[in-house]
Amino acid sequence: MALVAVGQLTSTASMANNLRQCQLLVKKAVKAGARALFLPEASDYIASSGEETIKMAKSAQESEFLVGLQEEARREKLPIHVGVHEPGQDSRRVKNTVLWIDERGEIAQRYQKIHLFDVDIKNGPVLKESNSVEPGGQILPPFNTPLGKVASTICFDLRFPEISLALKRQGADIITFPSAFTVPTGKAHWEILLRARAIETQSYVIAAAQVGRHNEKRVSYGHSMIIDPWGTVLADLGGNDGEPEIATAEIDFELLKKIRREMPLARRTDVYPAV
Ligand SMILES: O=C(O)CNC(=O)[C@H](CS)NC(=O)CCC(=O)C(=O)O
């Protein structure tokens, strides 16, 4: 068994304030006895335009947000999984990445979001992430942690079961979906997609989410969740903003083995292609 914490906050265009919110989440996770803390996509900042997003991006070494968070991880010996922006190949776009900061405060793993959120929904969100973000080109193989093998995806990746299935096939025990879901799509799809990914991969799902109003244009759905490999929602942080909050749950390695043993999902790759 290993206790994990999922953290929920409302990032804005103030990196200093977002760092303060994340420091508070670290304190809460340590107090609860968690072995790792999972933070949302874009924890470092959410800007009000693509241009501002690009202007604000800093390399990991130069980001006051990341340097500060790494210091927290080192001091508390607490691994932190966190979504940030990093400069792209050229100055026209940024990378939307998630990092695993280990208990020594080192950035040990990095995944760059591969599916970008380009939507134009009538009476709903209109967002074109690919204007300001450069897509990644590979899946990060699941990595060893004190919680088992963790696999990283980001937000809109949740809608493409192939990436989760591929990560499961590569040995994932926990699949993470750090997110900033919109309210209408969150209401309609968030929980059902997360539970489906947990059930079909027979893996724990940890989904840290942004919540509430970031600026005059953007509001996020919240409902950060931890879900077990049977699809049971173990924690749900709800949709109200206010003080940043954590929820915790136990990762039960025996339950993971039991579910995979009792209901083997043997694929018929002689009938359809392997993912
Ligand atoms: O903009 C930033 O700085 C951080 N990135 C995000 O918030 C991204 C791209 S706009 N949001 C999503 O992918 C939401 C997906 C979603 O809501 C759905 O799939 O329904």
Give residue-wise pLDDT tens across range 175-225. Answer: 999 999 999 999 999 999 999 999 999 999 999 999 999 999 999 999 999
Rg (CA), the chain: 18
Name the band, by pLDDT with cuts 50, 70 and 90, for residue 164.
very high
Asked if residue 255 has pLDDT above 90, the reply is yes
- The per-residue pLDDT for 230 is 98
Asked if residue 56 has pLDDT above 90, the reply is yes
Question: For 22-27, what is the mean pLDDT?
Answer: 98
Asked if residue 99 has pLDDT above 90, the reply is yes
Is 28 a known active-site residue?
no
pLDDT, tens digit (0-9, with 9 covering 90-100), for 57-92: 999 999 999 999 999 999 999 999 999 999 999 999
Name the band, by pLDDT with cuts 50, 70 and 90, for residue 137.
very high
- Alpha carbon of 121 to ligand 1 centroid (Å): 14
* Segment holding 18, helix H or strand E: helix 15-32
Q: In degrees rounded to 5, what are phi and psi of residue 6?
A: -110, 135
Ligand 1 binding pocket mutation candidate from 117, 131, 217, 220 (most atoms within 8 A of CB): 117
How far is 234 from 247, CA to CA, in rounded Å?
9
Q: Which of 58, 86, 95, 155 is catalytic?
A: 155
Question: For 267-275, what is the mean pLDDT?
Answer: 95
How far is 165 from 51, CA to CA, in rounded Å?
35
The SS3 call for residue 56 is helix
Single-letter residue type at 254: E
Q: 241 CB under 6 A from ligand 1?
A: no
How far is 208 from 206, CA to CA, in rounded Å?
6
Of ligand 1's atoms, which has the minimum distance to the CA of residue 154?
A: 13
- The per-residue pLDDT for 20 is 98
Of ligand 1's atoms, which has the minimum distance to the CA of residue 125?
A: 17
Of ligand 1's atoms, which has the minimum distance to the CA of residue 189?
A: 20
- The per-residue pLDDT for 3 is 98
* Strand ranges, E, within the chain: 2-8, 37-38, 80-87, 94-101, 107-112, 118-120, 126-128, 143-145, 148-152, 174-176, 204-207, 211-213, 219-221, 225-227, 233-236, 245-251
Question: For 142-166, what is the mean pLDDT?
Answer: 98
Single-letter residue type at 150: V
- The per-residue pLDDT for 145 is 97
The SS3 call for residue 3 is strand
Contact present, 101 and 108 (Cβ < 8 Å): yes
Ligand 1 binding pocket mutation candidate from 39, 129, 131 (most atoms within 8 A of CB): 129
- The per-residue pLDDT for 112 is 98
Question: Whose Cα sits closest to atom 4 in ligand 1?
Answer: 42
Single-letter residue type at 250: E
Question: For 112-132, what is the mean pLDDT?
Answer: 95
- The two beta strands, 37-38 and 2-8, are parallel
Q: How far is CA 178 from CA 33, 47, 51, 71, 113, in A?
A: 21, 17, 23, 21, 10
Asked if residue 229 has pLDDT above 90, the reply is yes
Of ligand 1's atoms, which has the minimum distance to the CA of residue 132?
A: 1
Asked if residue 247 has pLDDT above 90, the reply is yes
How far is 16 from 127, CA to CA, in rounded Å?
26
Q: 41 CB under 6 A from ligand 1?
A: yes
- The per-residue pLDDT for 6 is 98
- The per-residue pLDDT for 24 is 98
The SS3 call for residue 212 is strand
Give helix 161-169 / helix 191-201 axis angle, nearest 10°.
30
Q: 54 CB under 6 A from ligand 1?
A: no
Name the band, by pLDDT with cuts 50, 70 and 90, for residue 241.
confident
Is 22 a known active-site residue?
no
Single out the residue of 55, 39, 52, 43 nearest to residue 18, CA to CA: 43
Beta bridge partners of 95: 86
